[in-house]
Structure 1
């Protein structure tokens, strides 16, 4: 965003280097945001930082205390909580303090560090959400049981999220774009304002590979999962339909929250880079930044506390129990398998819907016996195995 300086030789007024002769970013440099505006931003950042810190710290405490939560897919959830917690520790408190004073307080070096750290942890969170959706997609559609003791893929996913994020957030430290003040001067990020090729090329790459690509992976993976669950509901009108509705709501909430928090920030970056100068005033540009930071609050709520396993462990923690209560519904912790044709299904085909629990009645035994004859069809050995964990 544009910043006015006293140095007329600086063609890029938002650059940190143009402000190297200024000891702080005072409110006189940002007249578009009033003291009350700064105070309002500080209140929002204080609430977001406090809730985000508490929620993500609680998630990590539960994960460390209860061994039942230490599954490979939960490792990815811990990675998201860790990156969000780092934002709440290394990012939000400094922007909160700056908003209370109406100016950036840590100087040029602090601004660069803040911009790098927040961009890194935010990108790790975004990429981890995409890796999580892909892992869920593979778990539900692969042809074998989920191995709950194989942590290799989870560690690879975590490593990929950090290496990939570092690959795209380190360049501004070495000359490809730069980190500097944004909005009303109380936060720092990538230099969105500069119009030179060096900066615009980085902004485009950052938008494509760190926002658009993770979002595309999330939409594709969860869309395929929803389609698979629709096949279940076509067979089981009761439980299958209810499961479809629950998963549909969960997916809609995840996608909407993702877009609500990150799309405004991405659009603001593109408009500031390619749009008419001054189109987005500093007073309005702070809103996308606050929305992006709010992801630290909703991520643990949507992805973790809506999970029944974490709910039971949280209840046990409140009650000072070392062992969480086991669900009374035996089927809730089991795996549902549905074998579907990898290409197409005949009109009279009925998918095999079984559970890894023993049949509870003679009727169920008869159903399983009759359905077992439909595993192979059309001489096509390829299958898809859908595993839905409700625990």
Structure 2
């Protein structure tokens, strides 16, 4: 019996489209050329039902289309309207560019593989390129979110005592973000760590199942430096942001009570403060969803090199990889739903989207240019 042919395998079994025989392993399912670089860890696992691959292909197609459209719109809107071209929004544009690059470099081959049955079809070196692009954009996404949180801390907590963010500084930090991401993405290509095909077959990422010293040290170090430290930094920033906002609100209420007035703020000040709080909420939501996307991948990486490897099945290892890419789709949606000025500019550019947003600034370029002078010091202006 030729076990490398799934059709021949099925013809020798009782017909059940939702059940596969135990002998239908990944090693038997993949073509001979793919089997040569499929890690030994995956060989004995039962192959996924082919329907899984079609479902994932459809998911990637829908999610990828949303991500491509959303991130292109973010870059277009933030680049077109002067009121949105602030130093801090350089970070937002870098995040959108990173997400867009991730989709362009990873999406086509994933859809192709899944709709053609699952196994990787672009060779071993293509697998390395795919994994490298995913790591590069993923690390850059993480570091950019750290930059956004630090900028929010500088504006809300330090206020006027903080150092204003300039375009030069923002561009320098973005350049450093890409250099940092590039350095960590290159290490597996030079022997510290490794890239490999995932157990789900249609994608490639880190080799998180080989338990030699170089691989264990790389994944553990990367997990700490690029996961734990950014997470602690982001959480600390938003902890102090929340504390500062609560303290300021309490002081205003106490002073208003002494003066027997309802509020010390004018309507304009109240709107400005609510905008700052709304900005912080947008960033917190962004980071929280990023945690949801990347935590499972970080967990399976550690489980593969330090935990029980038998628990790391193809499906368990594959879904976190798929989930991680989903962040590219919801990042632009967050800004569309929670960024009033962005929605207003989007309404002006794409009136057919029927966005219901009351204008806070005029939609002409001249007025937006004037408004940008007032909003330049407010990152991700609302």
Q: Is the 8 A contact 1:176 1:199 kept in 2?
A: yes
* CA offset digits 1:132-176 (Å, max 9, x no partner): 11122123314358757x301111210121111112111111111
In the superposition, the TM-score normalised over structure 1's length comes to: 0.73
Return the offset for 1:17. 10
The answer to whether residue 82 in structure 2 is matched with residue 67 in structure 1 is yes
Out of 205, 208, 211, the position equivalent to 1:192 is 208
| Of 40-49 and 70-79, the range deviating more from structure 2 | 40-49
2:90 corresponds to 1:58: no
C-alpha change, 1:57 and 1:276, in structure 2 (3 Å) is same
For 1:199 and 1:210, locate their aligned partners in 2 and report how far apart those are by CA, in whole Å.
16
Aligned partners of 2:179 and 2:141: how far apart in 1?
Answer: 12
Q: Deviations over 1:211-267 (max 9, x none)?
A: 222221111111111111112221345749967974675455334312210101100
Unmatched 5+ stretches in structure 1: 7-15, 335-355, 357-385
Q: Give the TM-score, by structure 2 length.
A: 0.74
Give the match for residue 254 of structure 1.
Answer: 286
- Find 1:265's aligned residue among 286, 297, 300: 297
Tell me how far 1:317 sits from its aligned partner: 0.5
Conserved? CA contact 1:180–1:188, under 8 Å: yes
CA distance in 2, matches of 1:205, 1:28: 28
Q: Any idea what SS the aligned residue of 2:197 has?
A: strand
Gaps of 5+ in 2: 1-24, 254-262, 264-269, 353-357, 363-369
Aligned to 1:37: 52
Other structure's SS at 1:170 match: helix
Alpha-carbon RMSD across the aligned residues, in angstroms, is 3.3
1:123 matches 2:139: yes
Greater CA drift, 225-234 or 184-193:
225-234
CA contact (8 A) 2:89 2:379 kept: no
Which residue number corresponds to residue 16 of structure 2?
none
Q: Which structure shows the higher helix fraction?
A: 2
Conserved? CA contact 1:56–1:84, under 8 Å: yes
Match of residue 63 from structure 2 = 48
**Matched residue count:** 318
Query: Within 5 A, what are the aligned runs for 1:211-250?
Result: 211-236=227-252, 239=270, 246=278, 249-250=281-282
Partner of 2:343: 311
Deviation at 1:45, TM superposition (A): 1.2
- Change beyond 3 A, Cα 1:104–1:196: same
Deviation at 1:303, TM superposition (A): 4.4
User: Where do 1:10-21 residues align within 5 Å?
Assistant: 19-20=36-37
In the TM superposition, what whole-angstrom CA distance separates every residue of 1:108-135 from its partner, at most 9, and x where no partner exists? 0100000001111011011101111112
Superposition map of 1:328-367 within 5 A:
none
